[in-house]
Amino acid sequence: RAVGAVTKLIAKEGKSATLKLPSGEVRLISKNCLATVGQVGNVGVNQKSSGRAGSKCWLGKRRVARGVVMNPVDHPHGGGEGSAPI
């Protein structure tokens, strides 16, 4: 069900089917299993731009402040004059 997942159906016999995976492994599965035939609907999900920071924030992906820009009481890398090295 993941984007880019692919396999080949080699044979169907009785209540099982033989599949060949991209790794070359041949696996026997039940014929009652479901699969998506063709292209998955969310192929371009990783190419979509969120547009602005707030949209990502709503999804739970908040910004993260670097330790270098914090004060010494907040992080071991904090403090220093200007952009001091760690």
Q: Mean pLDDT lowest for which of 23-27, 36-40, 80-84?
A: 36-40
**Token code pair at residue 20:** 């060949």
Provide the pLDDT for residue 16. Answer: 95
Angstrom distance (rounded) from CA 71 to CA 75: 7
Q: Which of 1-10, 33-42, 63-72, 77-86 has the highest mean pLDDT?
A: 63-72
With a cut of 90, say whether residue 70 has pLDDT above it. Answer: yes
Query: Higher confidence at residue 73 or residue 41?
Result: 73
Please choose, from the candidates 7, 9, 11, 33, the residue with its C-alpha nearest in 3D space to the C-alpha of residue 22. Answer: 7
Angstrom distance (rounded) from CA 51 to CA 44: 15
Angstrom distance (rounded) from CA 20 to CA 27: 6
**What is the amino acid identity at position 78?**
G
